[in-house]
Structures are given as C-alpha cells and as structure tokens.
Amino acid sequence: MPACPSDSIYCWNMARDAVHAAMAGNTETIIGRFVHVPMQLATRGRRQVDPSGDLWSSVIESTGQPRIFA
C-alpha cells in the first residue's frame, strides 16, 4: 500500500528528529512521536500481539492488509 501524504510527512519528521537526536549525542535512543526513548528501556521486555485480538484487527482494517498471508 503506498504511503499517503500524512504518512510521508510523519516519516520525514521522525527522520529529522532522529538526525537531531544523533547530532545532540543521543545515539542509543528510539525516536518516538513526542519523546526519545533509551534503547535499553524500549528493548528490556518483549510484548506480543494477539492475532485474534482487537488491536491486530484494527491494524488489519486500517491498513487494508489481507487477514492471512499466503
């Protein structure tokens, strides 16, 4: 699915923020929408998405992906 204009702008902003963080010396961070999250904090636990749950269903509906990949 091609990116819509708002996706392109969002990705551009995330990339810009990543460059600003790196230039400020924050090299071990993940760039979020409003905050920079330290990598160790973001990766300390693993979360799983239930493929039959509401969260995954909403992802499938909003992205237009098929429910089952061949």
- Backbone phi, psi, residue 8, to 5°: -60, -45
Q: Are 32 and 22 in contact (CB under 8 A)?
A: no
Question: pLDDT, tens digit, for every residue of 19-28?
Answer: 888 888 888 8
- Per the prediction, the chain carries an average pLDDT of 82
How far is the C-alpha of 66 from the C-alpha of 59, rounded, in Å?
Answer: 11
Of 45, 40, 12, nearest to 26 by C-alpha is 40
What's residue 11's pLDDT?
Answer: 86
The alpha helices in the chain, defined as continuous H runs, are 5-23, 39-42, 54-63
Q: Are 18 and 31 in contact (CB under 8 A)?
A: yes
